[in-house]
Amino acid sequence: MIRHRRPWRLALLGASLLLSGLIIPGSTAAVEPLTVISAGATALERAVRLEPAVRPGAACRRVWVVGDSLTVASSRSLRLGLAGLGVEYVVDGAISRRVNPGGISAVRAIRTASGEADCWVIALGSNDIYVNAARPITRAYASSVIETMTAELSPGARVWWVNINVRDSSTNIVSSGVMNSSLGDRDLADPDFAVIDWYTLSQSNPTWFANDNLHYNSAGYRARADQIVEAIRRNGER
């Protein structure tokens, strides 16, 4: 778990620091720029939703991210991007993490160690669909996974959930669709919940997929991080 404060708060520590690409006044190092994804700005614009609607004074200041191995692999780009926005952030990923128990345990640990976020990014669900190799998950199951996770988050916080694209079997292709449809239902029902549409962006870029049709290459992981950061950035500009 990695947490960084906004630059002005770090500066109060009295030292010139370089933390994951974040420059504090007095350092001579340069910030690594955000990656421009190969699909181009137009694809990213289409993929990032301008939701939830921002209330006055409600731009994200503290962003906690919880995910699985896809978050682990994209964590460096995520940290750089969030640092560039000047927000406090936590990026917490773990291999093979499901919502229950791993995601819930991570959220509880983050809230205890770092306090409450005003914005959460949940990048889970890919491992939760591995229930029955012969049968896709049901809408009821997917909805219960989503509800179990959101019930653990900071009261009043806005939530972005990164949807999924698991293509390693015909069953999981269908299950991905069920999970994503359930996320879409929650998006429509909850004004403080929105979907980051990774499915559409990754489906449009098949060269990003690794041979297992679950993980990605370096370009895919950079694009995934950029999409998340762009959602937070655009939220703050509204």
Q: Is 23 a member of any domain?
A: no
Structural domains in the chain (count): 1
Per-residue pLDDT tens over the stretch 122-170: 999 999 999 999 999 999 999 999 999 999 999 999 999 999 999 999 9
Q: What is the pLDDT of residue 51?
A: 42
User: Could you tell me the residue range of the domain that residue 163 belongs to?
Assistant: 58-237
Identify the band that residue 235 occupies on the pLDDT scale cut at 50, 70 and 90.
confident
What is the distance between the alpha carbons of residues 193 and 215, in angstroms, rounded to a whole number? 25
Residue 8: strand, helix, or coil? helix
Residue 108 forms part of a structural domain: yes
Q: Taking 80 as the threshold, does the pLDDT of residue 48 lie above it? A: no
N- to C-terminal Cα separation, the chain: 29
Residue 115 placed within a domain: yes
What is the domain-level CATH number for residue 112? 3.40.50.1110
Residue 3 maps to a domain: no
| SS3 category, 135 | coil
**Is residue 128 domain-resident?**
yes
> Alpha carbon of 103 to those of 26, 89, 107, 196: distances in Å?
38, 17, 6, 18
What is the b/e burial string over 70-82, where b = at least 16 CB atoms within 10 angstroms of the residue's CB?
Answer: bbbbbbbbbbbbb
pLDDT of residue 20: 28
**pLDDT for 223:** 97
According to the model, what pLDDT value does residue 11 have?
Answer: 23
Across 173-194, b (16+ Cβ under 10 Å) vs e yields eebbbbbbebbeebbeeeebbb
Domain annotation covers residue 31: no
